[in-house]
Amino acid sequence: MAYDEFTAERIGNILRDKNIVFTERNMMGGRIFFVDDKMLCGIHIDKKYGDQLLMARIGEAAYEKVIDKSECLPMDFTGRPMRGYIFVIPEGIDMDSDLAYWLDLCLEFNPLAKASPRKKKKAPKKK
């Protein structure tokens, strides 16, 4: 497992306390949370950073406001930061109130986010 189950449980509890309907899946080497079929946030153990990171989809407007905070890192899977997404280091989600702050930013952006198109399952080859 490449994520901390306790943090995943904390995220789920905060979303349930806010009466948010969500789903979660293991993907991208971690645990991803979805609201309205759109990626909300995720957690994973980052090999480069060496610890757990919260991936938050907050949109470009919020990104500009928070990226200079000491607990934020640009989300960089490919060598090029993704605008509108950030990583939050463990110190930034230590308290439930801190984690709730980042989830609130994600939830604010979620109605504006576009859902990724669903991939069609390939039909079995005919013989």
- Tens of pLDDT, residue by residue over 25-38, are 998 789 999 999 99
In the chain, domain spans = 5-112
Beta-carbon-side half-sphere exposure of residue 93 (alpha carbons within 13 Å): 27
Reply yes or no on whether the pLDDT at 113 is more than 80. Answer: yes
The answer to whether the CB of 92 falls within 8 A of the CB of 53 is: no
The answer to whether the CB of 4 falls within 8 A of the CB of 17 is: no
- Per-residue model confidence as pLDDT tens digits over 40-81: 999 988 877 778 999 999 999 999 999 999 999 998 877 788
Residue 26's DSSP bridge partners are 31
Q: Which helix (H) or strand (E) holds 15?
A: helix 5-17
For the entire predicted model, the pTM comes to: 0.86
- The tokens describing 39, both together, are 């990626």
- The tokens describing 9, both together, are 């449980």
Architecture of domain 5-112: Alpha-Beta Complex (3.90)
